Chains A and B, each alone.
Chain A
């Protein structure tokens, strides 16, 4: 397992997941420190029209500010952004969000691959992507791109996942930097921010 590389200022952590990933977020987010030198984006597959519900649910569990990502909004350190349902979420070179209503990818919109790949393009090595529990392989190609561009890739340990297929595929195909149990995740995330 590789050592954790500290995040430089204005970095990005993207967490992707599908079936069984909400529980993980509800356990991990409360343990994440408030002052981070990077932003967090969460991309979870879910039914259309349940956006505010998810945002509220996560916002109640953490001191961090949680909001749905808006078109042209600029990323800020220490904030958690949720990819809105039924749009792909991309990031521009000026660190603002773009939304895209193009074809589903891996039967999914938002697609984790799309956000991981877009983030890899903009953030390069100043990026960490974590793939959680899920029943399809969306996100795995994204992890490959992240690694290729020098970023760090993590997968949930399949034994700890409600649905193990997604992290299994990540481990099998993307040569991830670290495999994390749920209770290790917050520690890993916090240690990315050096000054804390």
Chain B
């Protein structure tokens, strides 16, 4: 598909402005190259006949606007993505949280929930799930509904099972779900320790204190000033000696909070100093 040329830079700014003024969603701090591509993709996929029509619908059609937010934000995720990272969680980070009577984890930008279920599986295998709570949040209500359903395409299970084993999982991965037509439905027990809620990293505040915050492949879409603001938000939401986990290409280096954190291992995990 040739998207380039369908939406101009000026039109991107018009839409960002509209969406902020009419819907209260602030995309001004999003990196423009990716955002422009998402908008052009949406414009083409939804078969808009003109920019004016695209703009009108985004402004005035509440149902379409939901679709717009889902289309503009990236919701691609998988279970046990980056197995070495999950192996670090399993071997080091989660066991070290065992000393707490109660473990609170914030998964920011959880999308359709694959990471939340991956973490719950490890917690269960470490016998920590019963005293843990995973707060899974996203800007986008539609993906949270999917996350709460805990059903993922059966066609992905071979890949996820390989990731699980590569991350140090010893069990039969298929024991965690039941096949239901083309979907794999994950065990209710895993979901019992998850709370799903909308949270906008751009505009919402800290809502609790956590021992572990994960936010993987979300910050790559933000410009530097917005990244720094979100790091402050995480810092306010993280207990001393708590952990912050980012995506493989993301870093807190050069940010204002970096001096109060120490890197753990070779993956993108930092521990807040005491």
Q: Which residues of A contact B (CB under 8 A)?
A: 70-72, 84, 87, 90-93, 98-103, 114, 117-118, 120-122, 141, 144-145, 148-149
Write out, one digit per residue, whether chain B residues 120-154 have a CB within 8 A of any chain A CB (1) or not (0): 00000000000000000000000000000000000
The answer for the CA separation of A103 and B111 in the assembled complex, in Å, is 14
Given A90-B34, A102-B38, A121-B4, 6 new contacts (CB under 8 A): A84-B249, A98-B221, A114-B37, A117-B3, A141-B1, A149-B4
- Top 10 A-B residue pairs of the complex, sorted by shortest distance between their CB atoms: A90-B33, A102-B74, A117-B4, A145-B4, A98-B31, A100-B34, A101-B217, A99-B220, A98-B33, A141-B2
Task: Determine whether B250 belongs to the interface, using a CB cutoff of 8 Å to chain A.
Answer: yes
**B2 touching A145, Cβ below 8 Å:** yes
**A148 touching B220, Cβ below 8 Å:** no
**A100 touching B74, Cβ below 8 Å:** yes
Tell me which residues across on chain B come within 8 A of A84, comparing CB atoms.
Answer: 249
Q: Which residue of A has the minimal Cβ distance to B83?
A: A49
Task: Determine whether B5 belongs to the interface, using a CB cutoff of 8 Å to chain A.
Answer: yes
Q: A98-B33, A99-B220, A118-B33 in contact; A70/B76 too (CB < 8 A)?
A: no
Task: Determine whether B224 belongs to the interface, using a CB cutoff of 8 Å to chain A.
Answer: yes
The answer for the CA separation of A91 and B31 in the assembled complex, in Å, is 10
The answer for the CA separation of A109 and B221 in the assembled complex, in Å, is 16
Tell me the minimal C-beta distance from B232 to chain A in angstroms. 18
**A120 touching B76, Cβ below 8 Å:** no
**A71 touching B220, Cβ below 8 Å:** yes
What is the size category of the interface that chain B forms with chain A?
Answer: 20 to 34
Q: Which residue of A has the minimal Cβ distance to B36?
A: A121
A interface: dominant SS: mixed
**A87 touching B74, Cβ below 8 Å:** no
Tell me which residues across on chain A come within 8 A of B247, comparing CB atoms.
Answer: 101
Q: A71-B250, A87-B249 in contact; A102/B5 too (CB < 8 A)?
A: no
Q: A87-B249, A100-B221 in contact; A120/B4 too (CB < 8 A)?
A: yes
Tell me the minimal C-beta distance from A67 to chain B in angstroms. 13
Task: Determine whether B32 belongs to the interface, using a CB cutoff of 8 Å to chain A.
Answer: yes
Q: Which residue of B has the minimal Cβ distance to A68?
A: B249
The answer for the CA separation of A92 and B217 in the assembled complex, in Å, is 18
**B249 touching A103, Cβ below 8 Å:** no
Q: Which residue of B has the minimal Cβ distance to A101?
A: B217
Q: Which residue of A has the minimal Cβ distance to B34?
A: A100
Tell me which residues across on chain B come within 8 A of A103, comparing CB atoms.
Answer: 76
Q: Which residue of B has the minimal Cβ distance to A89?
A: B33
**A72 touching B224, Cβ below 8 Å:** yes
Within 8 A of A (CB), among B1-48: 1-5, 9, 31-34, 36-38
Q: A87-B249, A100-B34, A100-B74 in contact; A144/B2 too (CB < 8 A)?
A: yes
Tell me which residues across on chain B come within 8 A of A141, comparing CB atoms.
Answer: 1-2
The answer for the CA separation of A103 and B5 in the assembled complex, in Å, is 20
Tell me the minimal C-beta distance from B68 to chain A in angstroms. 15
Tell me which residues across on chain B come within 8 A of A145, comparing CB atoms.
Answer: 2, 4-5
The answer for the CA separation of A100 and B247 in the assembled complex, in Å, is 11
The answer for the CA separation of A141 and B74 in the assembled complex, in Å, is 22
Tell me the minimal C-beta distance from B192 to chain A in angstroms. 29
The answer for the CA separation of A102 and B1 in the assembled complex, in Å, is 15
Q: Which residue of A has the minimal Cβ distance to B40?
A: A117
Tell me the minimal C-beta distance from A136 to chain B in angstroms. 14
Tell me the minimal C-beta distance from A117 to chain B in angstroms. 4
The answer for the CA separation of A148 and B249 in the assembled complex, in Å, is 32
Q: A100-B37, A103-B76, A145-B4 in contact; A92/B32 too (CB < 8 A)?
A: yes
Q: Which residue of A has the minimal Cβ distance to B38?
A: A102
The answer for the CA separation of A100 and B31 in the assembled complex, in Å, is 10
Tell me which residues across on chain B come within 8 A of A102, comparing CB atoms.
Answer: 34, 37-38, 74, 76
Tell me which residues across on chain A come within 8 A of B36, comparing CB atoms.
Answer: 121
Pairs across A and B, CB under 8 Å, 16 listed:
A84-B249, A87-B220, A91-B33, A98-B31, A98-B221, A100-B221, A102-B38, A117-B2, A117-B3, A117-B37, A118-B37, A121-B4, A121-B36, A144-B2, A145-B4, A149-B4
Contact check: which of A70, A122, A149 meets B249 at CB < 8 Å? A70
Q: Which residue of B has the minimal Cβ distance to A92?
A: B33
Q: A100-B74, A117-B4 in contact; A71/B249 too (CB < 8 A)?
A: yes
Tell me which residues across on chain B come within 8 A of A99, comparing CB atoms.
Answer: 220, 249
Tell me which residues across on chain B come within 8 A of A148, comparing CB atoms.
Answer: 4-5
